Every structure is written in structure tokens, then in C-alpha cells.
Amino acid sequence: MKKLTLNDIAKHFGVSISTVSKAVNDNAEISKEVRDKIQKYAKEHRYRPNRVALSLLKKSTKTIGVIVPTILNYFFTQVFFGIEKTANARGYNIISCTSDESYPKEVHTVGLLSAGIVDGLILSLSHETQAKANIEHISNFIDAQIPLVLFDRVSDKIECDKVIVDDLQAGYNTTKYLLDTGCKSIALVSEIYNSSVGKLRVSGYQNALKERKIAYDSKLLLKVKKNDDLELLITFLLDYKKIDAIIALDEMMAADVLYILKSKNIKVPEEISIIGFTNGRLSKYVSPSLTMVSQHGKYIGELTANILIDRIENKDDFIPYTTKIVKTSLIERESTRSLT
């Protein structure tokens, strides 16, 4: 039951390979009887054209590469889901890789994918890459003439299509929302302080403060690293100053903050309000449920995939690069006070 090739079928019928190829493709150039005979045989023996050979010939693999910093994060899982869905619908497979927030791994993976196995690439920069701001590997990839779409974690230095979240506005909106509910002293905790999205959210936060003529205090910006003890940091923060709201830059962290506050018997939202980024599964179920910023991950995935595939399928046409900005939505729940 070895894999059947055109050559095998050709030998079986004593005809040429071209005849078989045309027959299985139902080409009228071949007489009806021969065609039927060969098609029947091919079907019975489950002949399938070798996609690798086809890829080599057509210079198109019908697969797109996806590199995300991590998959153990609801936002990226959602985006991934959206990409997979639309890619499949448009006849593409996806080959998925994780950079694990690591620069060397990203370089390595991008290199691999530039060797002809994908027709295009979707990428969200790793945290380390954004911190280093070293994007030579991306430039090389672009030089290889393979379409690339960046999403969420992008870089100004890279010229290509991009899909980003309106993080500046989101940072501004959440801060303003908290101020409007009567909060005065708002802290911000972030693990991704070096990433483009983290910085934009902080800028939005600062803009909102400035608008209300509230001085920005950098001590209220908690940069937490991988193995930091968040509880300790929060304890210090609360000792430093009276806080009445905390913005957490991802969902897990929002949940962690809530957990810590509850363990300290601090009432949420009466004493401290919480808003988190990424509206995942957690936020609905904890109590009090968390007010969150939704980034519409699935939609971003769909949009990104569509832009990439359009680019792949109109490779010769000159289409200027676009940057799509996706607005966020605030999902109001119980961890914030109501607007008065």
C-alpha cells in the first residue's frame, strides 16, 4: 500500500506519465475511455498528487507561517483561532511557531520559514525583540520577497502591512473611565513594559492624567519581571501611597491583582477599582468579575490573515502597505465603580 505516484499508474496501464496526469485532472485531451479507466483506478487506489512536488513546480505551498510570542495567552489564542479559520476557508494551511518571547528563537524561526515552505508570514514580535529593537532578521525576510503581515507587537522600522490594536486610545479610555468613576490615584502594572503595546497603553494613561492635570508619578508604574513576587510589589505600592485604582496590562495579572487585594481584605471596587487588558475566560468568572478591555483577538486574526492572503494572491500588483487599527471595547463588570 505504498504511496501511489503518476509513474506507478502510468506503468500499470502502459501509458505515459503525461497521459495519466491529464486523465486524473479530467483533461479532455485524453479520450473518455482512457480517462475513466485511469480515474477509476486512481480513486480505488486513493491516488493523491504529491503536494511537495506541486509546491516546487508552482512555487506556491498554500501554507502560511504564524509566529506568536506565546500561545498560553488568551489574546494570542484568539488571534490564532481567527487566522486558522480564515486561512482554511481560503484554502491555506498554517504552520505555527512560538517565539517564547525570545529573540534568538524568533530569529531562528523566521530564518527557517524564509526557505520556501510558506507563501507568507504572520508575525507578532517577541518582547525581547522589541526591547532589543534589532530587526535585521525581519529585513532579511522581507528581502526574500515573501509577504509579511505584522500584528499587535509591531515596529515602525519595518515596512509592511500591519494590524494593530488602538492601544494608545485604550490606555487613555480606561484611565479616563476610572477617573470618571471618581478614582484619583491610579497605578498601572505591566509585564510587557518594553513592548510597543505596553508603551502605548502607558502613553494613553499619561495623556488622560495630563488632561485632568494630575501629575504623573513613575512610582505608580509597576514593571514586573518574569519571576518577581507580585504580592510584594503590590504591598510596597500600597505602602507608598493611597491607591484607588489599578490597571493591569494582561488578564492573568488582573486576576492576580484581584486575588492579592482580596487576600489583604481590600474591597474591590469600593476601595480599589481594577481594569485589565484582554477579555478572556477568567474575567467573567472571578468575583467580583473584572472590567476588561477587549482587543477583539479573533477579528484581528481574521483581518490579518485576509490581508496576507490578498497580498500573496496579488503579488505582482503594487498595493501600498496599510496599517489597520482595531478599536478596543471596554467590557464593564463589577471590579469598577459605576459612572455617576
Partner DNA sequence: TTCCTTGACGAAAACGTTTTCGAAAATTTT
Partner DNA sequence: AAAATTTTCGAAAACGTTTTCGTCAAGGAA
Interface residues toward DNA, by CB under 7 A: 3, 5-7, 14-19, 21-22, 24-25, 28-32, 34-35, 47-50, 53-54, 56-57, 59
Which is closer to DNA, CB of 34 or CB of 331?
Answer: 34
- The single residue among 39, 93, 194, 206 that binds a copy of itself, judged by CB under 8 A, is 93
Q: In whole angstroms, give the CA distance from residue 206 to residue 171.
A: 8
**Who contacts 65 (Cβ-Cβ below 8 Å, separation ≥6)?**
94, 95, 96, 97, 113, 117, 118, 120, 121, 122
Report phi then psi at 251, rounded to 5.
-65, -45
HSE-CB for 47 with a 13 A CA cutoff: 20
Shortest distance (Å) from residue 229 CB to a copy of itself: 17
Q: Strand 245-248 and strand 273-277: pairing?
A: parallel
Residue 90 touching a copy of itself (CB under 8 A): no
The item of DNA, a copy of itself, none sharing an interface with residue 238, based on CB under 5 to 8 Å by kind, is: none
With a CB cutoff of 8 Å and minimum separation 6, the contacts of 47 are 4, 9, 24, 41
Q: Is 111 in the site for a copy of itself (CB under 8 A)?
A: yes
- State the helix-helix crossing angle for 32-44 and 17-24, rounded to 10 degrees: 80
Buried b (16+ CB within 10 A) or exposed e, 90-104: bebebeebbbbbbbe
Instruction: Pick the piece of the chain touching a copy of itself (CB under 8 A) from 127-135, 136-144, 203-211, 305-313.
Output: 136-144
Determine which residue in the list 282, 292, 308, 326 makes contact with a copy of itself, applying CB under 8 A. Answer: 282
User: What sign has the CA pseudo-torsion 50, 51, 54, 56?
Assistant: negative
Q: Which amino acid is it at 8?
A: D
Binding-site partner at residue 112 among a copy of itself, DNA, none, CB < 5 to 8 Å by type = a copy of itself
Which CB, 58 or 212, lies closer to DNA? Answer: 58
Question: Smallest distance, Å, CB 208 to a copy of itself?
Answer: 28
Give how far the C-alpha of residue 158 lies from the chain's centroid of Cα atoms, to the nearest Å: 17
In order of 15, 34, 45, 294, the CA distances from 11 in angstroms are: 6, 14, 14, 60
Residue 98 interacts, among DNA, a copy of itself, none and using kind-specific CB cut-offs from 5 to 8 Å, with: a copy of itself
1 binds a copy of itself (CB under 8 A): yes
The answer to whether 243 and 176 have CB atoms below 8 angstroms apart is no
Please tell me whether residue 84 binds a copy of itself under the rule CB under 8 A.
yes
Stretch that binds a copy of itself, among 46-54, 122-130, 303-311, 329-337 (CB under 8 A): 46-54
Least Cα distance to 296 among 257, 268, 271, 326 occurs for 326
Residue 80 binding: pick among a copy of itself, DNA, none (C-beta 5-8 Å cut-off by kind):
a copy of itself
Q: Which of 9, 30, 255, 293 binds a copy of itself (CB under 8 A)?
A: 255
Q: Which residues bind a copy of itself (CB under 8 A)?
A: 1-3, 46, 48-53, 55-56, 61, 63, 71-72, 77-78, 80-81, 84, 88, 93-98, 111-112, 114-117, 140, 143-145, 252, 255, 258-259, 262, 281-282, 285-287
